Structure 1
Amino acid sequence: MKDAAKPGGIGWYRAGENICYYQNQMKRKGGGSYYTLSFEVTFKNDEDEVYLAHCYPYTYSDCCELLQRLCTNETKDKIRKTVLCKTLAGNDCEMVIITNFLSRPEEIALRRAVILTSRVHPGESNASYLMHGTLEYLVSDDEGARYLRDNFVFKVIPMLNPDGVIVGNYRTSLSGLDLNRQWQGPSMKQCPENFATKVMMRKTQ
């Protein structure tokens, strides 16, 4: 829950009591049951402005700000940013490449690649917090991070479904498709993110 009206900018915090998730009496046509989530929230201030969210939000703007902060002229020897593709809405689906770029090109070419993606399901914002920490570690001066950059090439897509995140979908893209079910023969028109990711993976092999 986010309390927007209180002075000092409290921001997002956990709230709610008597939280229950249970099978209800409604049945699915194809078999199985529906479930109900119920909870209680007490609003402490009159005429307050409050937002409720399933998880702590992590927006497309948050992702862009992170990459802008990490990918600078001073860090180009260990992280570089590129646009993997354009989404259906014309947004950038960005990818970063992390390795020790001070090495000779032939040395970099021999390194094994590690491919990481996140937020194929827009509502799973916890994945972005994991990716946020992963990226910050990989570009850090930690001895372990330096070892990883010296021996591997990381290709990271921090937000695979930007359109879904922006419009507030929980599971699908702007086309209404679950991108995590579109990896086998993805359509370049309907799922450009999946299509471009598979092209990148083939070129990486």
Structure 2
Amino acid sequence: MAAYTDALDHTSIYRRAACDSEESDGEGGLGNLSRLIVRPPGQSGKAKRGQLCFDAAFECGNLGRADHITDIEYDLYVRPDTCRPRARFWFNFTIENVKQDQRVILNIINLAKETTLFDGDMTPLVRSTSRPKWQRIPRRLIFYHRSLPHRGRKILSIAFAFDREEDVYQFSAGASYSYSRLQKHLATWEKRAQAFATRQSIAQTTQKRRIDLVTIGDYNTNKDKEEIKEEPPVTKPIKTAEQKKRVVLIMARTHGGEPPSSFVCQGFLDYLLGSSEKAVALRNNIVLEVIPMLNPDGVFLGNQRSDLLGGDLNRCWNRATSYAHPALVAVNDLLKKLASEKNVQLDFIIDIHADISHEGVFVRGNSYDDVYRSPSSSPERRVLAGRVLSPPLPKVSSPAMQALPGRLSRRHMLKSRPKTVLDVDLMLPIITESRQSQIDKSNSGSAERLALDQLSDEYDTHESDS
């Protein structure tokens, strides 16, 4: 696949590109800092070298406020999600106008959750215009601690030294994956996969962005066979089992602040382009309906969980409206269509997420205790997900997840699940025979490492091409 690097060219969100949506100028970047020079109190006029310029008015950017504490210390505040003030974790901003060897301490003050992977080995990322490859800030320079000057709040402090005056430095909670990058990737992927896949827009968001649906495989179950000219002997008619086409729906990026889910989804789409035995079997035997980005507005705006109107799409399935949740309405319509088809069997709905509190790769879902509830509730189908996902996955490191029972029922999930687990009965009241599984990829776990490895390969390709 062609390598796409997010150029750190300091493009303002208020300068709309030709391929961007019409309403992006008026809404995008609302509340983000836009090239703000942070000076000591009482100073004005032309900015001197070393008076830092903060900017987050670009796609996926997030920084709402920057305060000058001392010449080396700055307090930074994450901008809450639009219309959802309690969602605050994702940050992504740039700093320029630095001095050679200038040392600073950046305090990120208002993270919404105190228990995060910053308690462990996860650290923010940094890159610059001369070094566009993301790098993790060394752990010895990161301090996640309770600060008495900040009323005992747990803050994230970053000690950093700028080594090149001409560079623009970008700091982020994780490797960002933008809506624009997805559109570029799908445009190239579609050309290579035109023999077995189609791409269409099933809805438009509030800000007129596409909700892409990629269909891989063919719904036609009738295979071409040679006609037999000889008349078969007269026998009693034998009833043959109706052959149904197996369908799996995959969704990603319900929340803007979970870019690892986009990297995982892109890797899966690229894998299906290959000629391996498994890739060919997947393309030929099942139909994959893939929605790579369910919340483009939230991604574009740099929100952690919500869309433009403040709705958490993971909690709105049972009350979705065409005005506020066009993506959910489109998915519900797709599911109704699949449920009405007699020759189609929806096996799984896989919703890929990322988690800021748990490491590793883990699956949350539901099954039914009543074997006779429907034909799709057979024990064989219930264990299918475990068999599909059983090849080497990293071990679950969270004690809370290790304590969950091996056979998850709805009763077990209600007792033991964290608050972030999706309630399937609220999500899909119209589809009772489907299985919903939610795969969480942690920002510092294997998914993030895969994302960074992928970025490294892309940068290596980009450098070699240039």
Matched, 1:49 2:168: yes
Matched, 1:15 2:133: no
Unaligned runs of 5+ in 2: 1-125, 224-242, 340-466
Q: CA deviation at 1:34?
A: 5.9
Q: CA deviation at 1:47?
A: 4.5
Q: CA deviation at 1:20?
A: 3.5
In the other structure, the counterpart of 1:30 is none
TM-score normalised according to structure 2 size: 0.39
What amino acid does structure 1 have at the position aligned with 2:170? Y
In the other structure, the counterpart of 1:168 is 302
Q: CA deviation at 1:145?
A: 0.7
Distance 1:114 1:147, change over 3 A: same
What amino acid does structure 2 have at the position aligned with 1:185? R
In the other structure, the counterpart of 1:87 is 205
Unaligned runs of 5+ in 1: 28-32
What amino acid does structure 2 have at the position aligned with 1:119? R
- Please give the per-residue CA displacement for 1:153-175, whole angstroms capped at 9, x wherever unaligned: 00000011111111211211011
CA distance in 2, matches of 1:194, 1:23: 40
**Bigger Rg, which one:** 2
What amino acid does structure 1 have at the position aligned with 2:132? I
What amino acid does structure 2 have at the position aligned with 1:168? G
CA distance in 2, matches of 1:24, 1:188: 45
Q: 3-state SS of the aligned residue for 2:162?
A: coil
Q: CA deviation at 1:93?
A: 0.9
Q: Is the CA contact (8 Å cut-off) linking 1:78 and 1:139 kept in structure 2?
A: no
User: How large is the RMSD of aligned CA atoms in angstroms?
Assistant: 2.4
Q: 3-state SS of the aligned residue for 1:166?
A: helix
Matched, 1:78 2:200: no
Q: Is the CA contact (8 Å cut-off) linking 2:141 and 2:160 kept in structure 1?
A: no
Matched, 1:40 2:162: no
The answer to which structure, 1 or 2, has the higher relative contact order (CA under 8 A, 6+ apart) is 1
Q: 3-state SS of the aligned residue for 1:106?
A: coil
Which portions of structure 1, spanning 4 or more consecutive aligned residues, are displaced by more than 4 angstroms?
22-27
1:135-146 equivalences under 5 Å are 135-146=269-280
Of 98, 103, 111, the residue aligned with 2:216 is 98
Of 319, 325, 342, the residue aligned with 1:191 is 325
CA distance in 2, matches of 1:23, 1:181: 32
Q: CA deviation at 1:95?
A: 0.9
- Please give the per-residue CA displacement for 1:112-167, whole angstroms capped at 9, x wherever unaligned: 11111111100111111101100011232111011111111000000111111112
Matched length: 193
Q: CA deviation at 1:14?
A: 1.8
- Please give the per-residue CA displacement for 1:22-69, whole angstroms capped at 9, x wherever unaligned: 566789xxxxx9642222222212243111111101111111111111
Q: Is the CA contact (8 Å cut-off) linking 1:98 and 1:139 kept in structure 2?
A: no
CA distance in 2, matches of 1:83, 1:43: 44
Distance 1:35 1:191, change over 3 A: farther
Q: 3-state SS of the aligned residue for 1:37?
A: strand
Q: CA deviation at 1:19?
A: 2.3
Q: CA deviation at 1:77?
A: 2.4
What amino acid does structure 2 have at the position aligned with 1:11? K
Distance 1:105 1:14, change over 3 A: same
Q: Is the CA contact (8 Å cut-off) linking 2:175 and 2:259 kept in structure 1?
A: yes
- What is the aligned-residue identity percentage? 29
Of 169, 180, 185, the residue aligned with 1:61 is 180
CA distance in 1, matches of 2:132, 2:147: 36
Q: Is the CA contact (8 Å cut-off) linking 1:71 and 1:79 kept in structure 2?
A: yes
What amino acid does structure 1 have at the position aligned with 2:143? C
- Richer in helix (by share): 1
Q: CA deviation at 1:78?
A: 1.3
CA distance in 1, matches of 2:147, 2:253: 30
Q: Is the CA contact (8 Å cut-off) linking 1:79 and 1:139 kept in structure 2?
A: no
1:122-133 equivalences under 5 Å are 122-133=256-267
Q: CA deviation at 1:106?
A: 3.3
CA distance in 1, matches of 2:314, 2:155: 25
Q: Is the CA contact (8 Å cut-off) linking 1:81 and 1:94 kept in structure 2?
A: yes
